[in-house]
Amino acid sequence: MSQPISRLLHPFDVARHPSMEPEVKRAILASWASDRYAVRNKPALRKPPGLRDPIPVDDVFAALDAIDNPPDARDAARQ
């Protein structure tokens, strides 16, 4: 892998990573969505190890959705 996990700063960095397998992306994002990384008194935020700032759990779920339903596939389904 050319980019260490700690350099991925946002869930979409994971979802768009060019050389990571989809299963690896899902595993990383699923761990980030875990309650284990919930910010105390802010359940909508997650702070995985290596990230400087907390991220909204909704962004994690959106990135997971982007892996399973890439924008090109969604556009094709609407036509």
The string of pLDDT tens digits covering residues 10-67 is 999 999 999 999 999 999 999 999 999 999 999 999 999 888 899 999 999 999 999 9
β-pair partners for 55: 46
- Residue 38's domain comprises 5-71
78 within domain boundaries = no
User: Considering the entire predicted model, what is its pTM?
Assistant: 0.79
Sign of CA dihedral 5, 24, 43, 55: positive
- The pLDDT value recorded for residue 78 is 55
Closest among 1, 42, 32, 38 to 18, alpha carbons compared: 1
Residue 56, sorted as left (phi over 0), alpha (psi -120 to 50) or beta, turns out to be beta
65 within domain boundaries = yes
* Total number of domains in the chain: 1
- The pLDDT value recorded for residue 54 is 96
> Residue 5 pLDDT more than 70?
no
